[in-house]
Structure 1
């Protein structure tokens, strides 16, 4: 069980957590609810900065949040189902909070990017994913990023782990006007960005 460190001298904890802004805009917060969001945030507060793992007890989470143990357990199930928490079963259970972001063309969901919240490594992993999805790099994701990132393809899409490419037939309405059908997802993204810069 995670315990609070007791000190005999005054201390100021200047640690803060990151929060994914998109979860409020894409409806994820409404879907999981405030209780699950609170449990997710509390679990993030215990995360090891290198691995993201932590093992607070249900009782400790319950006390910290002012929730019943049943409410905390229900929230953990909701978070797992929403791909926002990885539970490593054992004695004690270990948790890894996860951030998730939608990768879209307009209203078309191409994939959901889920990344383990390991503060020391998350920025580098997300940059590698972003470069691949937006077509700035080719090839599989670096092994460090693959270990902490999950790509969940949207409808009609597939993630090719070997090439590090998103493939599929999802075509947003605005693509038809640019003649982009039949191109790889990365090439279509590049072409749409170029077209938007040039005014169409």
Structure 2
């Protein structure tokens, strides 16, 4: 990912937030041809000094058939994003897009059955705990879960490069910056989120 210096972030907490809030991300590989699969991802921080990404895809997916231990992949997370109109400036300029994104390049380690089971437990807990009547992996019974696991291909992605981008109109003068925020506050949820991020960045 090309990240201009002005928009580059080293904030690992921001990275964690983007991954957690936008976990349905792209797993991209190019072993035989370029392949990309949207999949649910979790940041594993059991060892805080060496976090990695966990995900799984269908065994029937052609991408699963070309991923092996040591394969190089890219995990692409797009956070909040919104259109920025050139009409919001006090001078002639071009329109653009504000956004937050994380890209993690890494090498694959295939999950063991035990690791895949644990991964599915964590993934289910994350999204089921807010439900009125949550159904967790333990509620399904081990035999049922292991039967369903036969169709899943679990991988760990060990990071080799991490890019965090926060493009929030940092190149605009204060008057335009504040006007962009005011206009975004009138928009949809993504626009409002970017407005809030811009406010935080400017404090």
Give the shorter-chain TM-score range. under 0.3
TM-score if structure 1 supplies the norm length? Answer: 0.28
Greater strand share, 1 or 2? 2
Higher relative CO (CA 8 A, sep ≥ 6), structure 1 or 2? 2
